[in-house]
Structure 1
Amino acid sequence: MSKPRQKNPSSSQRTPSVLSPEREEELMARAAWLAYVGDMTQAQVAKHLRLTRLRVNKMLAQARAKGIVQIRINSRIAALTELEDRLCATYGLARASVVPTPPQDDMVSHAVAAAAGALLSEHITDGVSIGVGWGRTLQLSLNSVTVRPVKRMSVVSLMGGLTRGSAVNIYDLSSRLAAMFDAECFYIAAPIFADTEATRDLLLQQSMLQDAFKRAREVDIAFVSVGPLHTKSTMARIGVLTPETRASLTEAGAVGDLCGYYMNADGQLIDHPLNRRVIGLSPDALRKIKTVILAGGGPDKVTVMRAALRMGTLSAMVTDERTAEAILAGQENVLE
């Protein structure tokens, strides 16, 4: 009589492929720790955790994307330092951070976001109040913010938001940053644009919004981005701007917005009905905040970032090398 076939011990003990979200993240963190701190190869990590090498490879990539693994390059590149110095000297900035431009255009926001999160982390201390705008780069930057115990921190939205969920909705961004530090969170609970000027004026008379704007004006740090004026912009893509409104803004000389306020290439607010309907912290109020950090990059944002610099509201910025060069060169490279 033949003996019953025995199961392969390694395959029978292999980690199940379907895990709860909590267990999956724990396993991801273990894999990242073994690979980056324990200096194991992916094959060694796979054997140690009883996983396939392919799964370990995917886990490490996800760990980077989720911010579980954060990479810091503790060295400066001379060309980037020169660009940073020129940006500070030209636009009166206290700080500029320029990162190498990645070869893929769709990765520029990721590269800028990583540096922006690191810069924001430097300003997070006990009792700090942070005002946030909205945008994809700001959302991505939270993956690179260093989480640590902080007391009496607060987060304040600097503008109204959307009436539906979105990855770039300011309410989601504000609440996520606050949750990372167990901080208080305050919203400007109103749409980014009111239907009419009269509606905007009526909303701003409400005590709830008056309190929110008071807190927004008194933040220690404002963390903002700009929006270009083209069909691929966030405002256009999520339907906040209709094609007709976008056309009229362009005709009025707008190149993009800062906290919902549209400006021309010289950094001056344009005369347009939308600027009289926006519910957000004004450029004049931003100028009074001690530290205003702008994060953004890419060829479509050159003109609007330069406009924001000319407006004189910023004290720091984070961008990529190619964008910094274009800003300083005075190039106009805006998508249509």
Structure 2
Amino acid sequence: MPIKPSDQIMHKAAWLYYMHGLRQDEVAKQLDISRASVALYLRRARDSGIVTISTSTDLFSHETLARELEDLLGLTSVWIVPEDRQALDPAAEMPVLAATVFLDLVRKGDKVGVAWGKTVYHIADVMPFADLNGVTVVQLCGNLGAPYSYRPDQCTTEIARRLNAQGINFYAPLVLSSERLAEELRAEPMIREQLASIAECDLALYSVGGIEADSHLVKCGALTPEEMRSLGERGAAGVIAGQIIDVEGRLMDCAHNRRCISADLGSIKAIPKRIMVVQEDNKYEPLVAAIKGGFASHLIVTASMGKRLKERFATSK
């Protein structure tokens, strides 16, 4: 089991102090806590054995990997789900950890943006109930047809229910039949206001989609396998809130994106806390693109994915 989100700050303080050589006041400034709190966390780290163990054995190797990724990728926090321990199923463990991280970061009065897909749906399904009256949960993109599983409205509604929060659904399709119709719908006052309000979110929870022939956008009928293949040949790498991004994490200039009713990607990147959760190995290239594009401040991945990211970004420095 990875380190508890509530204890991660202790590990981060120890990492900055012992590995980076920062003074206690510098650690306090970077973590936005008091100097007295830093001293307390460092004492707890020594008393619990984290400092000694993590420098003498590989018991905390996953936490060291998390801190290294934070440094390499410029992220606020990284959590690693181990894969090398018996009776630990990363596919079952990751949604539980992500739900815990999410609840640790959300505050009363926050506005939370939620995307869609299998990963987000599973997080919503295991999220403990909490009384966070005053929180508002909003969709980051338009909706899909009723037969499709893991719809944006399902994810938004379920997370709002678990938090005892207000849920605001998008009353518009994710993809329109024409660019003209999409442009006119975005100009409707209600839709325009809802899209504009996403930049006011305090926290976002999402994953990044792939561009395979069996990806969510293909399964829901937004794109044909041939159209998705063509986008890949033109440099498409992943999907953020229903929109196609290229290998550098930039919005692609394509008909699909122009027909899409979704948050402006700049608005999403302006959200202070952006939790990205990625389980599947085949999401590696989409995740690299999303990180390059600045779509994550908090990242939750498996150990194998974390190691691949470390190798990729360490060699690019």
Indicate the TM-score class for this superposition, using the shorter chain for normalisation: 0.7 to 0.9
CA RMSD of aligned residues (A): 2.2
Q: Give me the whole-angstrom Cα distance separating, in 1, the residues matched to 2:63 and 2:71.
A: 12
C-alpha displacement of 1:102? 6.8
Question: How many pairs does the alignment contain?
Answer: 255
Is 2:128–2:162's contact at 8 Å kept on the other side of the alignment? no
C-alpha displacement of 1:248? 1.6
C-alpha displacement of 1:235? 2.3
1:316 aligns with 2:298: yes
Q: Give me the whole-angstrom Cα distance separating, in 2, the residues matched to 1:178 and 1:165.
A: 22
Instruction: State the partner residue of 1:137.
Output: 119
Match for residue 262 of structure 1 among 244, 257, 280: 244
Greater mean deviation of Cα atoms: 144-153 or 118-127: 144-153
Q: Deviations over 1:210-232 (max 9, x none)?
A: 22213322111011111011123
1:291 aligns with 2:289: no
Q: Mark the runs of 5 or more structure 1 residues left unpaired by the alignment.
A: 1-74, 332-336
Q: Give me the whole-angstrom Cα distance separating, in 2, the residues matched to 1:289 and 1:102.
A: 34
Is 2:198–2:268's contact at 8 Å kept on the other side of the alignment? no
Match for residue 73 of structure 2 among 78, 88, 91: 91
Is 2:129–2:163's contact at 8 Å kept on the other side of the alignment? yes
Q: Give me the whole-angstrom Cα distance separating, in 1, the residues matched to 2:83 and 2:261.
A: 34
C-alpha displacement of 1:103? 8.7
Q: Give me the whole-angstrom Cα distance separating, in 1, the residues matched to 2:147 and 2:252.
A: 29
C-alpha displacement of 1:186? 1.1
Amino acid at match of 1:81: E
Q: Give me the whole-angstrom Cα distance separating, in 1, the residues matched to 2:257 and 2:193.
A: 22
Is 2:238–2:290's contact at 8 Å kept on the other side of the alignment? no
Instruction: State the partner residue of 1:15.
Output: none
1:301 aligns with 2:283: yes
Q: Deviations over 1:220-267 (max 9, x none)?
A: 101111101112322223333211211221121111111122122222
Q: Give me the whole-angstrom Cα distance separating, in 1, the residues matched to 2:66 and 2:125.
A: 24
Instruction: State the partner residue of 2:204.
Output: 222
Is 2:277–2:300's contact at 8 Å kept on the other side of the alignment? yes
Task: Flag as ranges the 4+ runs of structure 1 deviating above 4 A.
Answer: none
1:234 aligns with 2:216: yes
C-alpha displacement of 1:108? 4.3
Instruction: State the partner residue of 1:68.
Output: none
Is 2:290–2:296's contact at 8 Å kept on the other side of the alignment? yes
Q: Give me the whole-angstrom Cα distance separating, in 2, the residues matched to 1:327 and 1:130.
A: 27
Instruction: State the partner residue of 2:230.
Output: 248
1:204 aligns with 2:186: yes
Q: Give me the whole-angstrom Cα distance separating, in 2, the residues matched to 1:119 and 1:216.
A: 21
Q: Mark the runs of 5 or more structure 2 residues left unpaired by the alignment.
A: 1-49
Q: Deviations over 1:106-157 (max 9, x none)?
A: x644332121111001023321211100111111112342322222111100
Is 1:160–1:170's contact at 8 Å kept on the other side of the alignment? yes
Amino acid at match of 2:184: L
Q: Higher Cα Rg: structure 1 or 2?
A: 1
Instruction: State the partner residue of 2:167.
Output: 185
- What SS does the aligned partner of 1:195 have? coil
Instruction: State the partner residue of 1:25.
Output: none
1:176 aligns with 2:158: yes
Instruction: State the partner residue of 1:80.
Output: 62
Q: Deviations over 1:277-317 (max 9, x none)?
A: 22111221112111111011222001100110000132111
1:149 aligns with 2:131: yes
C-alpha displacement of 1:99? 0.5
Instruction: State the partner residue of 2:254.
Output: 272
User: Structure 1 166/108 Cα, relative in aligned 2: closer, same or farther at 3 Å?
Assistant: farther
Q: Pairwise mapping of residues 40-79 of structure 1 onto structure 2 (< 5 A)?
A: 77-79=59-61
Q: Give me the whole-angstrom Cα distance separating, in 2, the residues matched to 1:131 and 1:324.
A: 25
Q: Give me the whole-angstrom Cα distance separating, in 2, the residues matched to 1:282 and 1:214.
A: 8
